[in-house]
C-alpha cells in the first residue's frame, strides 16, 4: 500500500495553478476518529494541526500550508489537535 505523500509549505502560486482554491472545504473540530480511504484524496490545509496514523504505520503530522495525498485503501486514525479547515478532492 502507498504511503501518505506530504509536501510542506507549498507556495500559493503552485496551489493556485492546481485549482485547489476552487475545491470544496472540509472543517472539523478537535477530535480523534478512525477513517478509511475508499478513493485517493488530495488536500491543502488552510488551518489545523493533525496527526494521521496509518493502521500499523508511523504517525504523520500535518497542518497549515501542507498539501497531502492519502492513498486509496488506507485505514488510519485521525487525531485533530487544532481545528481543521482544508480544501479537498477525491479521485
Domains with residue ranges and CATH for the chain: 5-90 (2.60.120.10)
Q: How far apart are CA 31 and CA 80, in angstroms?
A: 5
Q: Which pTM was predicted? A: 0.90
Of 73, 46, 44, 79, the residue nearest 61 (C-alpha): 79
Q: How far apart are CA 90 and CA 84, in angstroms?
A: 17
What pLDDT digit, counting tens, does each position of 13-72 carry? 888 888 888 899 999 999 999 999 999 999 999 999 999 999 999 999 999 999 999 999
Please give the grid coordinates belonging to residue 56.
500499523
Residues 87/64, Cβ–Cβ less than 8 Å = no
What is the average pLDDT value for the chain, to the nearest integer? 94
Amino acid at each position: 500500500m502507498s504511503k501518505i505523500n506530504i509536501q510542506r509549505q507549498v507556495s500559493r502560486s503552485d496551489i493556485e495553478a492546481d485549482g485547489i482554491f476552487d475545491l470544496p472545504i472540509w472543517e472539523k473540530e478537535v477530535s480523534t476518529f478512525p477513517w478509511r480511504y475508499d478513493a485517493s484524496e488530495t488536500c491543502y490545509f488552510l488551518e489545523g494541526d493533525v496527526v494521521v496514523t496509518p493502521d500499523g504505520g508511523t504517525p504523520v503530522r500535518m497542518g497549515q500550508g501542507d498539501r497531502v495525498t492519502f492513498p486509496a485503501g488506507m485505514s488510519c486514525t485521525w487525531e485533530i489537535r487544532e481545528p481543521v479547515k482544508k480544501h479537498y478532492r477525491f479521485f
